[in-house]
Amino acid sequence: MTRISKHLLAAGLIAVLGLTACTNTRQESSILSVGKSLIDSRRAQPGARPKVNDSIVQREIGRALQSTDGPLALMQIEGTGSVAVLRVIETNGPHSTWAAWGTSERRSVSTRGGVITSTRGLGTDLMSSSIKGLLTMLSRRQDGIESQILRHLDGENQIEETLAYCAFTPGPRQDYAAGALRLQATRVDVYCKSDNGTFSNYYLVSQNGRIVKSRTWLGEGLGYFTLSHLR
């Protein structure tokens, strides 16, 4: 169910777009090599997951934290191996729209309560989703069953809904350390079933109910996205 659309080749460039602010020539060369390897690997081995140098990612996280006091997050796309540091570019009530830090790039994801609800410019976009019940269950950190709806465009540009019923299983608390955050969070595993198959998500929820990390399936064309909050 995690087949990656060929249109996501372009999304592989997010790893570059999120890391283009380097001023050191050696760093810039490394980052450009990362972007090139993403594309080359996708062409040679469609199922491969290119690796991005973690030291480069951590360096960019540090630079981003120093440059702004605003919200930041690290996004990883499993199917392409893409990584980007994101900043909030717009808020609308409970929804926040995020794009790559350090660039004018307009590819974006939107979140509600720390959960991705839509994407734009990433290929087979998630147009919207209904996650009110999911957020309620996560805030309680209890066993239970809830539904969620994912909406994508079909081949005729009509909205196609995927209704999934999901079982929630909380686990023990664990340490969470990312960027400027150091806290304890409860991992909640969520197993979902729809007419099209099954998928498994997980969320780390802090003691005050904040979702600080999520691994979420966004549809057949997008696959799994991991969003880790850094502040």
What per-residue confidence (pLDDT) applies to 21? 38
What per-residue confidence (pLDDT) applies to 8? 36
**42 vs 144 pLDDT, higher one:** 144
**pLDDT of 18 higher than 50:** no
The arithmetic mean of pLDDT across residues 203-207, rounded, is 97
**pLDDT of 124 higher than 80:** yes
**pLDDT of 33 higher than 50:** no
What per-residue confidence (pLDDT) applies to 47? 52
Q: Tell me the per-residue pLDDT of 79-109, one tens digit each, with 9 for 90 and over.
A: 989 899 999 999 999 999 999 998 877 799 9
The arithmetic mean of pLDDT across residues 178-188, rounded, is 97
Sheet arrangement for strand 144-153: 115-120, 108-112, 95-100, 82-92, 72-77, 224-229, 211-217, 197-206, 181-194, 159-178, 144-153, 126-130
Please, where are the H alpha helices in the chain?
14-17, 25-44, 54-67, 132-140
**pLDDT of 42 higher than 50:** no
- 3-class secondary-structure state, position 125: coil
Domains and CATH numbers, the chain: 6-229 (2.40.360.10)
What per-residue confidence (pLDDT) applies to 141? 94
pTM of the model as a whole: 0.78
**pLDDT of 25 higher than 50:** no
The arithmetic mean of pLDDT across residues 36-59, rounded, is 58
Q: What single string gives the DSSP state of each residue in 34-78?
A: HHHHHHHHHHH-TT--PPPPHHHHHHHHHHHHHH-SS-EEEEEET
